[in-house]
Amino acid sequence: MKKIFKEAHKMTRKMVEKYEVDYKGQFAICLSYLLNKEEEEMNGTEKQIEYANIIKERLIDQLSFSKTSLNSLNRKNFLLGFKEPLMKDYGKNITIKEAEKAVTIYIDTAIKNIREEKSAKKLIDIYNAPMYTEKTIYEAIVKFFI
């Protein structure tokens, strides 16, 4: 949602400069356009799309926060959530620094894929999956978005 607001402000500024229109009114038009555009892109019922957009925002926020907290004391446990793709791509002889770089790339890839996901049902199922299994949300993200 934050991204949409930024894009709406950017579009509004261009329109105001070019056509000298009212900022508030033009912002409302731009925001409405972008929200409708985003909803049209996703498949599912209206409620699914609404919930999926909330999930997208949460997952992206969670991954972005995780990316910034790679230097915390729990980084080893965090990196274990990405053990499967790390082993597949780098083997057993990977250093912590290499793993951190790789996980940063994995997170960027996951964020990109989450933003581009068109199925509301898939997002909802992935988000709810850890509730019904012992897997973490990171394992679900690795499985479906990396």
pLDDT digits (tens, 9 = 90+) for 42-54: 788 889 989 999 9
Q: Which residues are bridge partners to 43 per DSSP? A: 119
Tokens of residue 132, six digits: 């019904």
Buried b (16+ CB within 10 A) or exposed e, 32-41: eebeeebeee
Please tell me the predicted confidence (pLDDT) of residue 73.
54
Question: Span 11-30, mean pLDDT?
Answer: 90
Distance between CA atoms of residues 91 and 132, nearest Å: 30
**Statement: residue 58 has pLDDT above 50:** yes
Question: Span 90-102, mean pLDDT?
Answer: 83
The model carries a pTM of 0.61
Rounded to 5°, the CA angle 102-131-4 comes to 60
Residue 56: in which H helix or E strand, if any?
A: helix 46-68
